[in-house]
Structure 1
């Protein structure tokens, strides 16, 4: 089981967190500080697995971001590396070569995509095509809602103008 997901920049800024196990806010802050220091200081030629507090942290660096997932010791690390890569590929497909700024300004999309892939710390949807279709459907719903809101606002404005005449 995945206990949490962290996306950390090379400067140590947290770009995304998703917690699947109960941690208090104080514990979360401590975990982020500890793992940031641990992962960012590791050499690039060292393996991508770190033993930590009786758990195992699997991480992979893509451009300026470290994608980290914390798992149980008996879970398969290579499977988690594949899940990380799968997530990055889906982000790439959606954003077209994802970068840190995409995650900063469109964090809600990054969370939505992660939620489509993982549920309760387990891989839910292995198909990139299915995830892309679901994200496109959500984008379509958002656009439809914006159009409806805009048309309702116009109707209200016209009614207000008519009433004032």
Structure 2
């Protein structure tokens, strides 16, 4: 089981967090500070697994971001590396070569994509096509809602003149 997902920039800024196990806000802050210190100081030639507090943290660096997932000690690290890569590939397809700014300005989409891939810390969807179709459907719903809101506000503006 995946306990949490962190996306951390090379400067140590948190870009995305998703918690599947209960942590208080104080514990979350401590975990982020502790793990970012451990992961950011590791050399690039070292393996992508870190033993931490009885768990394993699996991470992978893509461009300027570290994608980290905390798993149980007995879980398969290579499977989690594949899940990370799967998530990054879906982000790449959606944003067209995803970068840190895409995740900063469209964080809601990054969370939505993560929620389509993982549910309750377990892999839900392995098909990139299905995830892309679901995201496209959600985008069209958002556009429809924006158009309806715009037309309603136009009607109200004309009625109040």
**Shorter-chain TM band:** over 0.9
TM-score between the two structures when normalised by the length of structure 1 = 0.97
Structure 2 distance, partners of 1:101, 1:154, is 33
Task: Determine whether 1:158 maps to 2:152.
Answer: no
SS at match of 2:160: helix
Structure 1: where are the runs of 5+ without partners? none
* Residue 118 of structure 1: how far off its partner (Å): 0.2
Partner of 1:18: 18
Structure 2 distance, partners of 1:100, 1:159, is 44
SS at match of 1:74: coil
Structure 2 distance, partners of 1:2, 1:101, is 26
The 5-angstrom pairing of residues 100-119 of structure 1 reads: 100-119=100-119
Give the greater-gyration-radius structure (CA): 1
Partner of 1:61: 61
Structure 2 distance, partners of 1:57, 1:150, is 46
* Residue 158 of structure 1: how far off its partner (Å): 1.0
Partner of 1:74: 74
Partner of 1:144: 144
Task: Figure out how many residues of one structure are paired with residues of the other and give that number.
Answer: 161
Partner of 1:47: 47
SS at match of 1:70: strand
Structure 2 distance, partners of 1:5, 1:123, is 13
Runs of 4+ in 1 over 2 A off after TM superposition: none
Structure 2: where are the runs of 5+ without partners? none
Instruction: Tell me the C-alpha RMSD between the 2 structures.
Output: 0.3
Partner of 1:35: 35
Q: What are the Cα deviations for residues 106-126 of structure 1, in whole angstroms up to 9, with x where unaligned?
A: 000000000000000000000
TM-score between the two structures when normalised by the length of structure 2 = 1.00
